[in-house]
Amino acid sequence: MRSLLISLFSFVAFAANAQTVMPLYTGLPPGGIAGPDEEITDKENNRALTSVPTLTAYLPSKEKATGTAVLICPGGAYTWVVLQKEGLDIAAYFQQQGIAAFVLKYRLPDDKIMQDKSSGPLQDAQEAMKIIRSRATEWNIDTKRVGIMGFSAGGHLASTVGTHFDRPVLAANAGLNLRPDFMILVYPVISMEKNLTHPGSRQRLLGNQPDELRIKNYSNDRQVTPQTPPTILFHTGDDTVVDVDNSFLFYQALRHQHVPAEMHIYPEGNHGFVLKLPVEVWMQTTLKWMGRMGMLNPGNPLLQGGTGQLY
């Protein structure tokens, strides 16, 4: 009886929220280290010490689906996964607009659970891109309209996916299309250079004394090519956590490689500024940009009217 009630509750929750959670791997992730399943959750649904990566899907109905999908990488300085505010809340909004959204609870870099902590999060994000495209027909997704979104350290992860798509972490993914079709980067960590990066994110990902080659490899402004996906960036000039120069450098690199890019820099609001606003306020700017990039159906009502301005 108890198991039946749990099953019924799970079904009702799924129906109400139209979401489902799935593991990225069957069993231990490749390159993972066997150990206890550790996860800490705080009162705001932030996750830490996560050793089982998952993908939470928010799928619109077939009738409402635009065919567009977004993989969301929450931030948290590679110390937490800010699952609710920078993940599930955003995904629910995308879903309402007919856009399939997938929230990645990636493994946080830790020598206890992975052989190479610097590549662990990227491996998970590439695996998620593979899963989304491999099940595109089932989920009413156009495989040429699959983008990625990232906040803060999740912005670093997202921009790593967008600049390292031709360097799969897992040999089994060689030859697959791991390239996002567009990127949405919100107050992102871009550089691992000591005078510019977020120190906590760098230390967690690369360790205390990374060599120059590793710093360059994960400084994504130095990895941009003409094949890097079109990108929109959001940041504030008064960000005291992740310096706005991260976004400036990435925008300049995109522009120099003739990659379509748009940047919105606001004078104040500090780190996490979009989370202080109703999601529909700033997301309208994102949706209109996606439309201009050809990532939404031309007749979509999201593209009609409005200024697309945040303030």
Which segments of the chain does DSSP mark as H helices, in order? 2-17, 89-96, 120-134, 153-163, 199-206, 212-217, 245-256, 279-292
The tens digit of pLDDT for each residue in 101-155 reads 999 999 999 999 999 999 999 999 999 999 999 999 999 999 999 999 999 999 9
Better-scored residue on pLDDT, 18 or 185: 185
Q: Which residue has the higher pLDDT, 153 or 276?
A: 153
Task: Please name each of the domains of the chain with its CATH number.
Answer: 18-295 (3.40.50.1820)
For helices 153-163 and 199-206, give the axis angle rounded to 10 degrees.
Answer: 60
Sheet containing 261-266: give its strands across: 19-23, 54-58, 100-105, 69-73, 146-151, 183-186, 231-236, 261-266
Q: Which residues contact 26 (CB under 8 A, 6 or more apart)?
A: none
Sequence-ordered list of residues with C-beta below 8 angstroms from that of 117, at least 6 positions apart, any chain: 109, 110, 111, 205, 207
Instruction: Find residue 58's DSSP bridge partners.
Output: 19, 101
The answer to whether residue 17 scores a pLDDT higher than 90 is no
Mean pLDDT of 35-44: 86
Cβ atoms 118, 201 nearer than 8 A: no
Q: Report the share of the chain in percent with pLDDT over 90.
A: 80
Q: Which pLDDT score, from 0 to 100, does residue 32 have?
A: 93
